[in-house]
């Protein structure tokens, strides 16, 4: 989803190291990283190293690291305290390490370090993918309607490929607990609301009751990306193929239609709100596939999928987005965000709840 909604607020660059003059980005000591890689992964990327923070992921920090032997991408947890089960680097690395040899488009896994003493947290390295996503408005305005349509088609086709992979076939049978997955989604995101809510919203309380009472049954189990949308799929310059699906920190085993519902929630929207990830920028009038077209294409490629309850999955996606926006709004009110883009997040919450309610109503 949009980094404006959930990404960490990154402080300015640190001062140059007095011994080397190297400027390290926050959370990544390049001197210690270089020493560690020279000893543990010689030849992977030779120093001297430079790096910059790039956007990506709900909370994990992502860096491009440049060296004499090329460039790689480093992922680490956010700065500050994280829960023991959150931001698990070995888990995310395990997913791409399983999918890459299976031929699914992900960055190549290069190295995992589980020792927090090196840079202050576990981290991993993966290959740099020179592609484009629709992470920013600048990417959006450069894409013509034909390529916009093709983007949607590629996203659906790639999602169908992911959901066709048997977890046990690639060593991911223990990635999650699929039993009760949908019920847990509703419950856990409501717990998020209770931890961060800044006001009472009766419409949200009504929505939660409806979601709980209408959970689909007889669902399938598959690998779920957890944040599958335009910004996490990288395509080539001409939009002819998917180069990589990135940001697997939310990956688990569960109902694959949650991925489709999430993708659909980013499409074909009438709400025009600055920074809103479900804004009209992905509307059909710009060439992007509508929600109905996304669902139809997926159903044609995944015959086993039952689409009768797809509106429930779309509503779940809006609900989760609303909870995420409220958490950001709470941090903004406490003065814990940096930048002007956070001042409107609270306005999006009731809008997203209304979208969820409308989806359930057909």
Which CATH number goes with the domain that contains 163?
3.90.1200.10
Q: What is the mean pLDDT of residues 257-286?
A: 74
* Residue 146 sits in the same domain as residue 98: no
* Residue 243 sits in the same domain as residue 275: yes
Among 66-70, 142-146, 348-352, the range scoring the smallest mean pLDDT is 142-146
* Residue 122 sits in the same domain as residue 254: no
pLDDT at 181 over 80: yes
3-state secondary structure labels for all residues of the chain: CCHHHHCCCCCCCCCCCCCCCCCCCCCCCHHHHHHHHHHHCCCCCCCCCEEEEECCCCCCEEEEEEECCEEEEEEECCCCCCCCCCCCHHHHHHHHHHHCCCCCCCCCEEEEECCCCCCCCCEEEEECCCCECCCCHHHHHCCCHHHHHHHHHHHHHHHHHHHCCCHHHHCCCCCCCCCCHHHHHHHHHHHHHHHHCCCCCHHHHHHHHHHHHCCCCCCCCEEECCCCCHHHEEECCCCCCEEEECCCCCCEEECCHHHHHHHHHCCCCCCCCCCCCCCHHHCHHHCCCCHHHHHHHHHHHCCCCCCCCHHHHHHHHHHHHHHHHHHHHHHHHCCCCCCHHHCCHHHHHHHHHHHHHHHHCC
Q: What is the CATH number of the domain that holds 66?
A: 3.30.200.20
Residue 67 counted as domain residue: yes
* Residue 166 sits in the same domain as residue 213: yes
Q: What's the confidence (pLDDT) of residue 12?
A: 44
Q: 341 pLDDT band (50/70/90 cuts)?
A: low
pLDDT at 87 over 70: no
Counting every residue, how long is the chain? Answer: 362
* Residue 122 sits in the same domain as residue 144: no
pLDDT at 175 over 90: yes
* Residue 155 sits in the same domain as residue 122: no
Q: 26 pLDDT band (50/70/90 cuts)?
A: confident
* Residue 208 sits in the same domain as residue 322: yes
* Residue 337 sits in the same domain as residue 302: yes
The total domain count for the chain is 2
* Residue 178 sits in the same domain as residue 318: yes
Residue 262 counted as domain residue: yes
Q: 224 pLDDT band (50/70/90 cuts)?
A: very high
* Residue 186 sits in the same domain as residue 43: no
Q: What's the confidence (pLDDT) of residue 140?
A: 61
Range of the domain at 68: 3-127
pTM of the model: 0.88
* Residue 275 sits in the same domain as residue 335: yes
pLDDT at 16 over 70: no
pLDDT at 14 over 70: no
Residue 102 counted as domain residue: yes
Among 17-26, 94-103, 225-234, the range scoring the smallest mean pLDDT is 17-26
* Residue 221 sits in the same domain as residue 306: yes
The most confident of the ranges 38-52, 262-276, 299-313 is: 299-313
Q: Which residues contact 232 (CB under 8 A, 6 or more apart)?
A: 56, 133, 225, 245, 246, 247
């Amino acid at each position: 989803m949009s980094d404006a909604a959930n990404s960490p607020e990154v402080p300015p660059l640190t001062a140059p190291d007095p011994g080397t003059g190297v400027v390290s980005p926050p959370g990544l000591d390049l001197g210690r990283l270089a020493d560690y890689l020279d000893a543990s992964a010689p030849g992977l990327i030779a120093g001297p190293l430079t790096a910059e923070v790039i956007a990506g992921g709900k909370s994990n920090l992502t860096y491009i690291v440049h060296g004499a032997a090329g460039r790689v991408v480093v992922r680490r947890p956010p700065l500050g305290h994280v829960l023991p089960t959150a931001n698990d680097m070995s888990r995310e690395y395990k997913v791409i390490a399983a999918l890459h040899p299976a031929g699914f488009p992900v960055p190549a896994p290069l190295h995992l370090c589980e020792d927090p003493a090196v840079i202050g947290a576990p981290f991993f390295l993966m290959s740099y993918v020179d592609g484009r996503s629709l992470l920013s408005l600048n990417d959006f305005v450069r894409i013509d309607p034909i390529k916009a349509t093709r983007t949607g088609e590629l996203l659906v086709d790639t999602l169908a490929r992911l959901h066709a992979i048997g977890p046990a076939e690639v060593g991911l049978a223990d990635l999650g607990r699929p039993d009760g997955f949908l019920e847990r989604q509703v419950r856990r995101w409501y717990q998020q609301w209770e931890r961060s809510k800044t006001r009472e919203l009766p419409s949200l309380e009504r929505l939660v009751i409806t979601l709980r009472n209408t959970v689909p049954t007889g669902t399938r189990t598959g690998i779920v990306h957890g944040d599958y949308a335009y910004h996490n799929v990288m395509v080539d310059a001409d939009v002819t193929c998917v180069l990589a699906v990135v940001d697997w920190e939310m990956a688990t085993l569960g109902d694959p239609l949650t991925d489709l519902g999430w993708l659909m929630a980013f499409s074909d929207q009438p709400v025009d709100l600055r920074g809103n990830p479900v804004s009209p920028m992905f509307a059909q009038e710009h060439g992007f596939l509508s929600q109905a077209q996304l669902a139809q294409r997926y159903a044609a490629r995944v015959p086993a999928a039952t689409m009768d309850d797809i509106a429930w999955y779309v509503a779940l996606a809006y609900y989760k987005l609303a909870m995420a926006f409220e958490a950001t709004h709470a941090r903004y009110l406490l003065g814990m965000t940096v930048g002007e883009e956070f001042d409107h997040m609270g306005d999006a919450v009731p809008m997203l709840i209304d979208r969820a309610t409308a989806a359930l109503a057909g």
